[in-house]
């Protein structure tokens, strides 16, 4: 089991990295100075420091890529990454979920990316939210949840990416269908937690599983 703790310094977007051992996948922790990571078997616990975010506001504000991420490099042209996500959501825009990025996986340099998260919306309800970022972030709210927990899935089939969510891990609903530039190179995919407005946020990702070579119906999730 690996456990990494953050320092109390202000959040930084610099990609401090460390390998996470003790789990089933070869995860790497990015921006370790901004989070706490504990990984064992197929379960990852993460905590994001206050004022951490992953967003490029279309209003021209500086990009913020300070949120901690635990991810692995995936070269397979067809894969699905699964995790059951449970979190607390104490403050507006608190969020936890899955992320996929292009760029330089070894250095942590951010290219284009997409994330699917359980987020506390302005209506103060846990909500399935997806963001796709090219030059700026395209933010879209989806369905509301009764509690801040759900199964999330990221699927790649060649040049196409899809996010799905499920209450039971059996029946899946489409959240977002999209593509990113740079998908001809290995991708970085994994888990993210953010706490942009309030106190630190913790999340537990269980049943983390990577399946390669199996295609699904991108529209209905089967």
Longest dimension (CA), the chain: 45
Q: Sorting pLDDT into bands at 50, 70 and 90, what band is 101?
A: very high
Per-residue pLDDT at 199: 97
What average pLDDT does the structure give for the chain?
Answer: 91
According to the CATH classification, is domain 2-212 in 3.40.50.10490? no
Per-residue pLDDT at 7: 47
Please give the C-alpha separations between residue 44 and each of 29, 48, 76, 174, 182, in angstroms, as whole numbers: 11, 13, 23, 24, 28
Please give the C-alpha separations between residue 77 and each of 81, 131, 188, in angstroms, as whole numbers: 13, 22, 13
Residue carrying structure tokens 């959040």: 11
Per-residue pLDDT at 177: 97
pTM over 0.75: yes
- Distance CA(52)–CA(72), nearest Å, equals 21
**Burial class of residue 44, CB neighbours in 10 A (0-12, 13-18, 19+):** buried
Q: Is 219 left (phi over 0), alpha (psi -120 to 50) or beta?
A: alpha
The set of residues, in sequence order, having a beta carbon less than 8 Å from that of 62 and lying 6+ positions away, is none
pLDDT over 70, % of the chain? 91
Per-residue pLDDT at 104: 73
The whole-number average pLDDT for the span 132-142 is 96
- Distance CA(129)–CA(127), nearest Å, equals 6
Both structure tokens of 69: 């991420």
Both structure tokens of 55: 């967003």
Per-residue pLDDT at 10: 54
Per-residue pLDDT at 17: 87
Q: Are 89 and 99 in contact (CB under 8 A)?
A: no
Q: Are 112 and 134 in contact (CB under 8 A)?
A: yes
- Distance CA(215)–CA(196), nearest Å, equals 35
Q: Please check the confidence at residue 218 and state whether its pLDDT lies above 60.
A: yes
Per-residue pLDDT at 2: 55
Per-residue pLDDT at 15: 62
**Ranges of each domain in the chain:** 2-212
Which of 115, 97, 88 lies closest to 198 in space, CA to CA? 88
Q: Is the dihedral angle over the CA atoms 208, 213, 214, 216 positive or is it negative?
A: positive
Per-residue pLDDT at 131: 98
Per-residue pLDDT at 220: 76
The whole-number average pLDDT for the span 167-177 is 96
Q: Sorting pLDDT into bands at 50, 70 and 90, what band is 12?
A: low
The whole-number average pLDDT for the span 172-188 is 94
- Distance CA(3)–CA(22), nearest Å, equals 9
Per-residue pLDDT tens for 33-67?
999 999 999 999 999 999 999 999 999 999 999 99
């Amino acid at each position: 089991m690996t456990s990494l703790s953050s320092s109390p310094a202000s959040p930084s977007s610099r990609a401090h990295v460390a390998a996470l051992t003790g789990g089933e996948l070869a995860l790497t922790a990015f921006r370790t100075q901004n989070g706490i990571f504990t990984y064992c078997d197929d379960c990852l616990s993460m905590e994001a420091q206050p004022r951490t975010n992953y967003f490029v506001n279309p209003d021209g504000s500086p990009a913020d890529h300070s949120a901690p991420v635990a991810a692995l490099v995936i070269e397979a042209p067809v894969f699905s990454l699964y995790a059951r996500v449970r979190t607390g959501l104490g403050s507006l825009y608190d969020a936890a979920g899955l992320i996929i990025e292009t760029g330089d996986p070894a250095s942590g340099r951010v290219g284009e990316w997409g994330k699917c998260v359980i987020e506390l919306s302005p209506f103060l309800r846990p909500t399935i939210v997806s963001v796709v970022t090219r030059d700026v972030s395209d933010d879209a709210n989806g369905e509301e949840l009764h509690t801040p927990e759900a199964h999330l899935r990221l699927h790649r089939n060649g040049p196409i990416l899809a996010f799905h969510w499920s209450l039971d891990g059996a029946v899946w609903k489409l959240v977002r269908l999209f593509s990113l530039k740079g998908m001809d190179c290995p991708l970085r995919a994994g888990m993210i937690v953010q706490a942009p407005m309030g106190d630190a946020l913790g999340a537990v990702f269980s049943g983390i599983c990577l399946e390669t070579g199996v295609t699904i119906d991108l529209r209905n999730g089967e």
